[in-house]
Copies of this chain bind each other. A is one copy, B any other.
Amino acid sequence: MKLVVINPNSTQSMTDKIIASARAAAGDHVEVIGRTAHGAPASIEGHFDEVMSAAHLMREVQQAEASAADAIVVACFDDPSIGACREIATGPVLGICEAACKAASMIATSFTVVTTLPRSVPIIEDLVRKYGLDHQCRRVRSAEIPVLALEEPGSNARQQIRDEILRAIDEDKCEAVVLGCAGMSDLTEWLSRETGIPVIDGVTVATKFAEALVGAGLKTSKIGAYAVPNKK
């Protein structure tokens, strides 16, 4: 199967990291194709960045569709424009927040999300509520790190994230932690080892869930809100 993983921001190093995670997770029969939303903001930190990346994301989804992709992963934790992607895609489209939180709900009774900046906290809280998981989400926490700090070799971002997870375990009594940014994908194993709790990366899980839905023969429903866009 052909899986297109789209980084909806324009930072290539982040795409590289994301694709590495997706490839590491994907089965042998899965061709993982990475795409960067060139022209989009360098990072998505809030609603405005989301909107400014949206048309670029659509273009990538349309190209994925033209190339007969079996499924699509949108690798930004704000799950930007997922409904629109689903309208133009035939196969399943997975957002990494939805995938990670639903995975968490299958292996733990509660989870905490650890994200980058405080301004993303209400956006993620809103998503979690939209997905109906607010009763299992103990808290959405920010490690107070700009997204691109995750790309800087010398930053102590990983330590800050680890410390925030340790606080989450202690204060929230959560049973799992969801990493609230695609750019944290490469830290998953290290964080899991350091903290002794299941740490869930949305890129990895969305890749596997995309595989799963395709393997189950499921496509996006086309008889309602996700029907092909009306011709204008």
Interface size on A, residues (CB 8 A): 88
Most chain B Cβ neighbours within 10 Å, of A42, A92, A224:
A224
Chain B residues, CB < 8 A from A212: 103, 205, 208-209, 211-212
Binary CB contact string for chain A from 186 to 210 against chain B (1 if under 8 A, 0 otherwise): 0011001000111011001101110
Chain B residues, CB < 8 A from A84: 46-48, 50-51
Binary CB contact string for chain A from 130 to 147 against chain B (1 if under 8 A, 0 otherwise): 111111100000000010
For the complex formed by this chain, how many copies does it contain in all? 6
| A126 in complex: contacting residue of B108, B130, B226, CB < 8 Å | B130
Given contacts A52-B58, A55-B55, A209 and B87 within 8 Å (CB-CB) = no
Docked CA distance A45–B224 (Å): 12
| B45 A230 Cβ-Cβ under 8 A | yes
Q: A interface vs B, CB < 8 Å?
A: 25, 27-29, 41-43, 45-52, 54-55, 57-58, 81, 83-84, 86-88, 92, 94, 98, 102-103, 105-110, 117-119, 121-123, 126, 129-136, 146, 169, 173-176, 188-189, 192, 196-198, 200-201, 204-205, 207-209, 211-213, 215-221, 223-227, 229-230, 232
**28 A–B pairs (Cβ distance < 8 Å), ordered by A:** A25-B216, A27-B27, A41-B232, A47-B226, A51-B55, A54-B54, A54-B55, A92-B107, A103-B213, A106-B209, A107-B218, A107-B219, A108-B224, A109-B226, A119-B224, A119-B225, A121-B173, A122-B224, A122-B225, A132-B132, A132-B136, A134-B135, A174-B224, A175-B221, A201-B216, A204-B217, A205-B216, A209-B209
